[in-house]
Chains A and B, each alone.
Chain A
Amino acid sequence: MKVVLQELTKIFPSRTKKGQEVVAVNKFDFEIPDGKLVGLLGPSGCGKSTTLYMICGLQKPSSGKIFFGEDDVTSLAPEYRGVGLVFQNYALYPHMTVKQNILFPLQNFKGADRLSKSEMLERAYNVAKLVQIDELMDRKPNELSGGQQQRVAIARALVKMPRVLLLDEPLSNLDARLRLQTREEIKRIQRETGITTVFVTHDQEEAMSISDIIVVMKLGIVQQIGKPQSVYDDPVNLFVAKFLGTPPINVFQGTVKGGRLYIGEDNVLATPDVEDQEVFVGIRPEGFIYDKNGPLHCNLRNVEVMGRDVSIVSTSDASLNPTIRSIVDADNKIDTENQTVSFSLKPHKVFIFNKETEERIRFGNTASPAEVKE
């Protein structure tokens, strides 16, 4: 089931008479292809959860339309949309066993849709097997670990065979190790069921690792939509570039003069066809090459050895981050005696942005933006 959002907008009225209304989601246009896993990504307050709740039906859009396939569901109540929702804190009914929790949505079916008792049980056990909790059916939620509760919540959302599965911050309540495991699990379940899935997260790593498509949002406005790798490799503006990637991108003050990019006094890169102007320069940590004769000079702070890689921490007056973090291969022997460290740069890992609009300025070395086409 593809999901189409047309100019979807949500405006919350102000609480006080004089206060301003809040535009939580602003003209969101997007077609989620059938059977894909889509991650809505953004800092808190960017409108990603509001978007999810509008798709779900718990919140009504101020304007715009939502289609499931060809059906306009914009004004449809959530129970008629056929969506499964997994809440951030799972919202498992604490007084019911796992089995009762999973059966609960099925018991709401009325009339011709109503299943016999044995059919209900069969469906419940099938979905429990899918999420691997069929051993725990008689436990209460408080007797389960966080990861198990999460699975139960997914099972409860899946048991009624929804057209769309929605997950609100699915991993935020899990510890780091479980998070890694569970995100693989969500990916697997999504693949096996083939249900169009939308999930919300503020964790870019999480979104990057499992989504087929990510949507980066900021203050209610969609910044960029695309495959995780292409959004990472080709951000449209400074916000997206800063939001994606760990360690985060290094940002510098820079100047373009005569087709060359300067960071401080250092002439680092050729930027053909770019007009002379002040710019922000973003360099991915992996975009640095340790090079004694490199054009970029920074003050060496320290070197962190991480086994496969070496992380060089340095500072520069031109840097907007407190420290510059560059990741180079461990084969490099870093001269820690020296006060300064020099780098040359991989051009495709260097992005320049307009100082006012913070929009990307392209300079020939990067491919045109990869469109999402499925």
Chain B
Amino acid sequence: MVDSKKQWKAWLYLSPVIILTLVFTVWPIINTVRIAFLNDYTLMGDAGGMTFSVGVKNFQKVIQYPDFLICLKNTILLTVITVPISTFLALLIAVCLNSIKVLNKLLQTIYFLPYVTNTIAIGMVFATMFSMVGSGFGGADPYISTAGIINNILGVFGIEPVNWVNAGSTYWANMFVMIVYIVWNALPFKILILLGGLQSVNKQYYEAAKVDGTSRVRTFFRITVPMLSPMLAYVIITGFIGGFKEYSSVVGVFGEGMGPAGTEGTLNTMVGFINTNLMGKKPREGIASAGALILFVIIFAVTMLNMYVSKKRVHY
């Protein structure tokens, strides 16, 4: 323990962090909750010393937005579909990476690259890859010009080009691209965590299983998965939290329109909804704060549910 006479020194050294955290993290959280419950809140009015009545009017307004349900549905769909897929794939890849000896380090680096690559840049690459008309769009003969690589590959197998992301594409074609993108983007972090977990599992468990003649499948499900359960719980919980905050991935592929040209907004997510619809051209801080609180409650509830399930399933 620090001598009580010298404690002021500790506080002095800590003060920059404490002050910054108070100003830029703690106060905004408190303020968001405050604003969300003030009816007809305006920033100018607040600054001018106006008083507002306390109520839930902001929340009612959020729910009444026509886009609210679309965004909620998109967010939930993307999360519920991508988290299991990416977790399963990450587990598979981690196990494979852990079992090979040649080029192990190189492959680990390659698999980790997406993590350090800019989200928007990846999104633009994906948009180009899935593009229908490629770089020829808007040219003299727009529909015959080069297509994205995905449609080219499909063409090799004699499959008609699919309109994935361009004007006139269907909702599920868009969703498919988003799912592929989000899964791919989520893999590196999950692989890293699971690989770390795998490498810390005592090899003797596997030797014991081998001596007892355990099949590979049974070894995987009865030994590897339970041993990794703390890491699996971690990547699943953080995956859900990240999924509910999905926004920049859609911006990366579709731009700020949050959907293909002509049908903007069809792929909007909760964060996008708060950012664009509620705080867009005409800022409404009260309603936006209420939207943020709703998202918080959803994430909180899902995380609690995750923790509850993992308590029964995770072996620490």
Could you list which residues of chain A lie within 8 angstroms of chain B, going by C-beta atoms? 56-58, 77-80, 83-85, 87, 89, 91, 93-95, 104-105, 107-109, 156, 160
Bound-state CA distance A87–B206 (Å) is: 12
Contacts of B208 in A (CB 8 A): 85, 87, 91, 93, 156
Identify 23 residue pairs between A and B in the complex whose beta-carbon atoms are under 8 Å apart, listed by A's number. A58-B207, A58-B210, A78-B210, A78-B213, A79-B211, A79-B213, A83-B211, A85-B207, A85-B211, A91-B202, A91-B204, A91-B207, A93-B205, A93-B208, A93-B226, A94-B315, A95-B226, A95-B227, A104-B214, A104-B222, A105-B212, A107-B218, A109-B213
Contact in complex: B211, A58 (CB < 8 Å): yes
User: Does the CB pair A104–B204 fall under 8 Å?
Assistant: no
- Give the 9 A-B residue pairs with the shortest CB-CB distance, closest first: A79-B213, A95-B315, A105-B212, A91-B204, A95-B226, A91-B208, A108-B213, A78-B211, A85-B211
Interface residue B215 (Cβ < 8 Å from any Cβ of A): yes
**A residues within 8 A CB of B309?**
none
Please report B residues at the A interface, Cβ cutoff 8 Å: 202, 204-205, 207-215, 218, 222-223, 226-227, 229, 315
Chain A nearest Cβ from B178, distance in angstroms: 36
Instruction: A164 to B227: give the CA distance in the assembly, Å.
Output: 29
State the majority secondary structure of interface residues on B: helix
B214 & A93 in contact (Cβ 8 Å cutoff): no
**A80 CB contacts on chain B under 8 angstroms:** 213
CA distance A132 to B229 in the complex (A): 32
- CB of A56 within 8 A of CB of B212, answer no
Q: A93-B223, A95-B315 are in contact. Are A108 and B212 (CB under 8 A)?
A: yes
Q: Can you name the residue of chain A whose Cβ is closest to the Cβ of B202? A: A91
A5 to B204, CA, bound (A): 25
Complex: chain B residue closest to A82, CB-CB: B213
How far does the Cβ of B204 sit from chain A's closest Cβ, in whole Å? 4
A87–B207 contact, CB under 8 A?
A: yes
The residues of B that contact A108 with a CB separation of less than 8 Å are: 212-215, 218
With the chains together, A78 CA to B207 CA distance in Å? 9
Q: Check if A89 sits within 8 Å of B204, measured CB to CB.
A: yes
A113's nearest neighbour on chain B, judged by CB, is: B213
Measured between C-beta atoms, what is the minimum distance from A78 to chain B in Å?
A: 5
Using CB atoms, name the residue of chain A closest to B215. Answer: A108
> Taking CB as reference atom, which chain B residue is nearest A104?
B212
**A87 and B204 contact, Cβ closer than 8 Å, known pairs A95-B226, A95-B315:** yes
Residues from chain B with a CB closer than 8 A to the CB of A91 are 202, 204-205, 207-208
Contacts of A56 in B (CB 8 A): 211
Q: How far is the CA of A79 from the CA of B202 in the complex (A)?
A: 20
Chain A's closest residue to B225 (CB) is: A95
A56 to B215 Cα, complex, angstroms = 18
Closest CB of chain A to B315's CB: distance in Å?
4
For B229, list chain A residues within 8 Å (CB).
95
- Within the complex, the shortest CB–CB distance from B223 to chain A, in Å, comes to 7
Bound together, the chains give a CA A91 to CA B211 distance in angstroms of: 12
A91 to B222, CA, bound (A): 14
B205 CB contacts on chain A under 8 angstroms: 91, 93
CB nearest neighbor in A for B219: A108
**Which of B209, B210, B211, B214 is packed against the most chain A CB atoms within 10 Å?**
B211
| Residue of B with least CB distance to A105 | B212
Chain A residues with Cβ under 8 A from B226's Cβ? 93, 95
Alpha-carbon distance A333/B285, docked complex (angstroms): 99
Q: Which chain B positions have C-beta within 8 A of A156? A: 208, 212
The answer to whether A160 touches B207 (Cβ under 8 A) is no
Query: Are B207 and A79 within 8 A (Cβ)?
Result: no
B215 to chain A: which residues have CB within 8 Å? Answer: 108
Report Cα–Cα, A79/B206, bound state, in Å.
12
Bound: A153/B50 CA distance, A: 74
Query: In the complex the two chains form, what is the Cα distance from A104 to B213 in whole Å?
Result: 10
Judging by beta carbons under 8 Å apart, are A79 and B210 in contact?
A: yes
**In the complex, what residues of B have CB within 8 A of residue A104's CB?**
209, 212, 214, 222
State in angstroms the CA–CA spacing of A56 and B207 once bound together.
Answer: 10
Question: Which residue of chain A is the closest to B314 with respect to CB atoms?
Answer: A95
For the complex, give the distance between the alpha carbons of A105 and B212 in Å.
Answer: 5
Instruction: Write the chain A residue with the least CB distance to B315.
Output: A95
- Looking at the assembled complex, report how far the CB atom of B159 sits from the nearest CB atom of chain A, in whole angstroms: 43
Quick one: closest A residue to B218, CB to CB? A108
Whole-angstrom distance between the Cβ of B6 and the nearest chain A Cβ: 41
Chain A residues closer than 8 Å to B315, beta-carbon distance: 94-95
Q: Are A79 and B212 in contact (CB under 8 A)?
A: yes
The CA of A94 and the CA of B316, in the complex, are separated in Å by 9
**Which chain B residues border A78 with CB–CB below 8 Å?**
210-211, 213
A-B contact sample (4 more), CB < 8 A, given A77-B210, A79-B211, A104-B212: A85-B208, A87-B208, A91-B207, A94-B315
Residues of B within 8 A of A89 (CB): 202, 204
Nearest A residue to B204, CB-CB: A91
Name A107's closest neighbour in chain B (CB-CB).
Answer: B218
CA distance A105 to B223 in the complex (A): 13
Of B204, B223, B229, the most chain A CB neighbours within 10 A belong to B204
**In the complex, chain B residues whose CB is within 8 Å of the CB of A93:** 205, 208, 222-223, 226
When distances are taken between beta carbons in the complex, the residues of chain B under 8 Å from A77 are 210
Contacting residues, chain B, for A107 (C-beta < 8 A): 218
